[in-house]
Amino acid sequence: MMQSNALLAALEPVARARFLPRFQRVELRRGDLLHSDGQLTEWVYFPLTGLVAILTQTIAGESVQTGMVGCNGGAGILEAFGSGRHRSRGEVQIPGAALRLSVMRYREMLHASPGLQRAVERHLEMLVTEARQLMACNALHSIEGRLSRSILDALERSCLERILPITQEALAQMLGVQRTSVSGCIAKLQREGLIRSSRGAIEVLDVARLEQVACDCRESLAVAREEIWAVPPQQQLSSGGTRSPMMPL
């Protein structure tokens, strides 16, 4: 079960056996709120399937999606340290399942597992890289290219095959654009035979062609991901032994 999440898969067998009884399996239902802005962090969630949208909200109450967490990572892995408070809202966008662990046990597990420490460090580096890339993407690329990239990214991170159970409203929030703009792009992609849209779902019919339409940020991030995860373990750990799990940005 832990092999379904990229971070938990990095646990050594001894650490896995030690902490497995401490995990709780939870069902992720669309719209479930895992954490809210300003809330103290109680749980760290490791999705096995499904997708959690990370939403940043203004004082005026407007919100936009600034991240997505699926089987590639965890929700709360950074907030478990520092102030211990969330600066965003975590809402289930695509239903699935997750394993969750209390903050205290998560900290213990991170101290006990050099493999998990390395995986979390690389994951956090990748999150910062994505944030920088997507800032440029929002300013430079068309909605159609961004939408195509987002559909493919969401499909991968939710560990789904071809059908993405997501609404056009959620896609609009993901891109920070009007729903009418998303509807127009979806209609175009559907006419070209790349996707099939139904109520509350997008089916990808031609992955290869959708990859061609997607903006080149997808390719840039794929290269960055390969380089980040290829870093030898000895470069991530100090020569004096296991390093502190406070992950630098």
pLDDT for the residue 237: 47
Q: How does pLDDT run across 105-130, given as a tens digit for each residue?
A: 999 999 999 999 999 999 999 999 99
Asked if pLDDT for residue 248 goes beyond 80, the answer is no
Question: What's the average model confidence in pLDDT over 68-82?
Answer: 91
Q: Nearest to residue 63, comparing CAs of 165, 172, 157? A: 172
pLDDT band at 240 (very low <50, low <70, confident <90, very high): very low
Q: Residue 151 phi/psi, 5° resolution?
A: -65, -45
Count of Cβ atoms closer than 10 Å to residue 50 Cβ: 25
pLDDT for the residue 249: 29
pTM higher than 0.85 for the full model?
Answer: yes
Q: How high does pLDDT run on average in the chain?
A: 90
How many residues are there in the chain?
Answer: 249
Question: What's the average model confidence in pLDDT over 121-140?
Answer: 93
pLDDT for the residue 121: 94
pLDDT band at 242 (very low <50, low <70, confident <90, very high): very low
Q: Which residue has the tokens 């832990």?
A: 2
pLDDT for the residue 234: 52
pLDDT for the residue 231: 65
Q: Which residue has the tokens 């609404």?
A: 167
Q: How does pLDDT run across 163-194, given as a tens digit for each residue?
A: 999 999 999 989 989 999 999 999 999 999 99
pLDDT for the residue 233: 54
